[in-house]
Amino acid sequence: KISNPTSATHHQQQHHNLHHKMTSQEELKKQTGYKSVDDYVSSGMVVGLGTGSTAYYAVERLGQKLKSGELKDIVAIPTSIRTKEQAESLGIPLVTLDTHSKLDVAIDGADNVDPFFNLVKGGGGALLREKMVELAA
């Protein structure tokens, strides 16, 4: 078996580029998730928590701000078991649509995040609502 050192380094280089690209997209999702909480969530709100990587960071941020006392009297409605478990582990109080049918803000995962922090998603609101009703049922 003859190993070809050039192809190996080339492969590593490709892998590195791929990893770097993923990291920056992940970093963008984190910034966006955090920013959505910073910009849109204030004390006393009912927050819909979506699913997906951006929403994951938003839930993480919500947990931090509740813990630090920056936010108070927040209740959240999760749209998935995963989000529910994450929120519970962070001590975010959860409610259902039965008791809180009006949401102040809903944070759902973005399929694509552009550099201006716009969440690019088709029909997200209605879908989020359906998922929530399903979960609440």
Query: Which residues are catalytic, by number?
Result: 130
Dihedral, 45, 75, 37, 56 alpha carbons, nearest 10: -160
Residue pair 59/83 in contact (Cβ under 8 Å)? The answer is: yes
> Given the DSSP bridges, would you call strands 75-78 and 105-107 parallel, antiparallel or unpaired?
unpaired
Residue pair 110/121 in contact (Cβ under 8 Å)? The answer is: yes
Length of the chain equals: 137
Q: Which residue has the tokens 């990291």?
A: 23
Helix (H, G, I), strand (E, B) or coil at 107: strand
Which residues does residue 113 pair with via DSSP β-bridges, in sequence order? 119
